[in-house]
Structure 1
Amino acid sequence: MRDLATLRKLNRWKDQSLAAPESGSAHRAEEQYRNWIWTLAEEVGGFKELNVAPGSRGGGRRGRGMVPVQVQLTGLASFGDVQRFLFRFYQADLLHKVVSLRMKSKSQNNDPQLEVTLVAEGLSLPFASDTMDKRDTLFPRPVVSDSDEESVDVAKLRLPSKKAFRVRVGDQYLSESSEKVTDDRTVRFGGPSHGQPVSSIDADAIAELVPVAESRETVVPRDYSWSTRCTLEATCLSREERASKSDRHSRESAS
């Protein structure tokens, strides 16, 4: 049973990993991850004066062919912009995390512009899915073949059948629709994620298919709040996670 559980975990990590290292180098993984972080911050977070640069690869923590890949983001954003970025960051089913987050206010008003410095780290595993090596982007980028006010159609790709996905076009995220499509070469996404209307999307627009982490499939942005662990680090917690943390703290206090 233990071997079976280990095999399942490794199969899950295979699809969550960044691109596999090549001759010990994680250059492809770094480039794909850096470009994804940049696009997420710019198109979804609305960051200004943005820059995303390669960071330390954490060479001291390598093992069994695993290569940690870090990137550093700097830019200007509001509190809400950062929240939106972090929600979508953690929603993506990747072996990654925010290592550090620093936010410095430029004013004392109610919604100040923040100078943001964020370090994110993903893992590049030697047994990562080889599909990552066959494209330039971290996630598949199909073309929108048709769209209206309620849905968008994109080219069907070979994706894990049991996996939940969102399609992102610009700053919009849509869930897969149960509506049947007559063309078996396309898949329809509609029912705008979290009840927001679909803004105008042009046919031939480039979409992005983002796999959703199992723990985030039912979590929506309004379920999230901030929990600042120290002055240099912040993370998002869902309501369930906050409740679990509160219960654990209560038990520790009681003991």
Structure 2
Amino acid sequence: MDEKKRTKVLGGVLAVVLGFGLVRPDQRLMEPVREAERSYSNAAGTYEREEAKQMELMVARNRIEQGRKSSLPPRVSDAQRLYQTWITNLAEQCKFSIQQIAPGGTRPLKGQYSTVDVLVEAETDLDGLSRFLHLFDQADLMHRVSALEITSTGSSGNPRIEVKFTAEGLSVDGSPQKSDVFARTRLPEAISAEATEVTVAEAADFPKAAPFRVQLGREMVNVTAIDPKDNKWTVERGLDGTQAVAHAANDVVQMFPVSPAKQDVAFADYESLLNSSPFTKPAVPKVYKPRLASVSDKTVAPGDVVEMTAKAEDINPDVGTAMFELADNVDGMTLDPETGEFKWEIPNDVEPKKYETTFILTQKNNPDLKVEKKVAITVQLPNGDPEVTVPEKAVVVLGRDFTLDVEAKDDGESAALKFSFEGDVPEGLKIDETTGQLSWSPPKTFSPGDYPVTVKVTDGGSPAKSATAGTTLTVTDDYAALTLFTGAVALDGEQVAWFRNLATKALPELKVGDRLTAAEIDAEIVEIESRHVLLKDAAGIWKLKLGDNLRDRVLIEPAPGSDTAAPTAELKTSAPAEGA
């Protein structure tokens, strides 16, 4: 070997020796330890994965167990029958007008589960449908609405809607046998609508601790406390839009378990849907027309207290609160600017007259709003009772016009008096509302007799006062037209006038000073001559010629201050009806 080759070989050997010398001894010694650590880490990872799988298996088993608890009975026929009954009760509770509820199809998956359908056709409104879907969704039951068809019957207000849907329930193989969808018991005795404690016949299948929810008939109830000794529950009544009502003995009490995932869901979550129904036309944007209300003119007496509360109507509440103030107010008047409560304690010595003040409505955050309303408060002395006077009796002649004046007075304005009848009055009798005058034209076919009439007068004071007075109207045939002056003779030096009543055949013989009465005529005989007699009544002196009837008499000397157009002070008569 030459020198060069020998040098290269020695150099290579030296490099190997030096390279081996550069490897740290601890690295060589720790390699088995690190290998063991890697093996341990791999084993630990494998263990954790197996443990996670075991946990997943336990969770799955728990879910299966919970699913079986939330399942319908395993027997398909029982599942469909009980599920249909439960759906029916829930629909009726939500005020559905049920048209048809019928069993649908079933779909088994061998060894796992079966589905059962219930077909529902009903009519309700949006609130009823929302309540049904809310309770349906809350129930801890493996089911769903697999198909839903909604038809609205209107487009305004709260229209009725027709619904058709399929409720699909799940019956899991291996689930426990049960006689109903949820635990059921009965009331051993009746309870009132106000009762807050309920005793049930059997509570073994119900939760052992409160709270939990049950259906009491069609009323939703929350059980808040339990007394297990007597099966007595403390309850909160009328939940989920139902009403607390009385229940009879043997009424059904059924468990209504709420799904754990739905514990925090409330019916209020449907509020936005109810407020903006998809079945109605959008409302036209509201145009606000603010106004002041509940304040008005008053009439009071000294010493009274005037109280009223101003109210703001038709203002946009989203802008700000309403504020109130007074302008031109009288001393002593107060107004709460926030509540609008007005008060004025009127002094006893205040001057009776009209006092005016102005209510002003404004609104926070709305400087453009200002509504004013002037109110007058009239202070006047206490109102006294009016007085009314009417003759005790008057004669009404069949076939002739009749009037009777009524007198009334009051401490207030006479023009404010209003007249009316009180009680029953004969047919056709009228009264003038402003003058009180009675008027009547009874036909000849009307039944004669006495008819009591009550006249009522009401003043314009505050408070208004009234008074009444009665009269008796005697309805009679027209005997005046049938009473004739037939002659006059002197008997024992004294003139005697002969009359004849053609209706009654009476032949009265009267002297000066005697009174002649026929129909409404009542007059004193003041002179008797062979060819005439003179009669005197309140209207004056009348002349009746021989052979004439009393209707033919002529007024020859009116009484001072009398109305010559009126034959008597109280009565006004016209000429006899044609043919009388």
TM score, norm. by length of structure 1: 0.75
For residue 38 of structure 1, what is the aligned residue in structure 2?
Answer: 88
Q: Larger % of strand: which?
A: 2
Summarize deviations over 1:34-69 as a string: whole Å, max 9, x none: 111011101x1111133211112245xx25331011
Contact 2:131 2:240 in 1 (8 A): no
Summarize deviations over 1:188-230 as a string: whole Å, max 9, x none: 1412336977332333322211221112223321123559xxx
Contact 1:58 1:68 in 2 (8 A): yes
| Correspondence 1:95-244 to 2 at 5 A | 95-130=142-177, 132=178, 135=179, 137-145=180-188, 147-148=191-192, 149=194, 150-154=196-200, 155-159=202-206, 161=208, 165-178=212-225, 180-181=226-227, 184-192=229-237, 193=239, 198-224=244-270
Equivalent residue letter for 2:185: P
Equivalent residue letter for 1:106: T
Question: Highest Rg: 1 or 2?
Answer: 2
Could you tell me which of 96, 104, 125 is aligned with 1:55? 104
1:9 to 1:187, Cα distance in 2 relative to 1, 3 A: farther
Q: 3-state SS of the aligned residue for 1:156?
A: coil
Residue 31 of structure 1 and its aligned partner are, at CA, apart by 0.4
Distance 1:79 1:194 in 2: 15
Summarize deviations over 1:162-195 as a string: whole Å, max 9, x none: 79631112331111122x53x6241414123369
Quick one: higher RCO (CA 8 Å, sep 6+), 1 or 2?
1
Q: RMSD across aligned C-alpha pairs, in angstroms? A: 2.6
1:50 to 1:165, Cα distance in 2 relative to 1, 3 A: farther
TM score, norm. by length of structure 2: 0.35
> Identity of paired residues, percent?
25
Could you tell me which of 77, 87, 103 is aligned with 1:27? 77
Summarize deviations over 1:15-43 as a string: whole Å, max 9, x none: 1000103xxxx11100000111011101x
Equivalent residue letter for 1:205: D
Contact 1:174 1:189 in 2 (8 A): no
Q: Larger % of helix: which?
A: 1
1:106 to 1:166, Cα distance in 2 relative to 1, 3 A: same
Contact 2:203 2:231 in 1 (8 A): yes
Q: Show structure 1 runs of 5+ residues with no match.
A: 232-255
Equivalent residue letter for 1:12: Q
Q: 3-state SS of the aligned residue for 1:49?
A: strand
Residue 99 of structure 1 and its aligned partner are, at CA, apart by 0.8
1:173 to 1:40, Cα distance in 2 relative to 1, 3 A: same
Structure 1 runs, 4 residues or longer, greater than 4 Å off: 160-164, 194-197
1:117 to 1:5, Cα distance in 2 relative to 1, 3 A: same
For residue 9 of structure 1, what is the aligned residue in structure 2?
Answer: 63
Distance 1:164 1:28 in 2: 29
Distance 1:89 1:102 in 2: 16
Residue 82 of structure 1 and its aligned partner are, at CA, apart by 0.7
Equivalent residue letter for 1:224: Y
Distance 1:71 1:196 in 2: 24
Equivalent residue letter for 1:28: D
Contact 1:151 1:198 in 2 (8 A): no
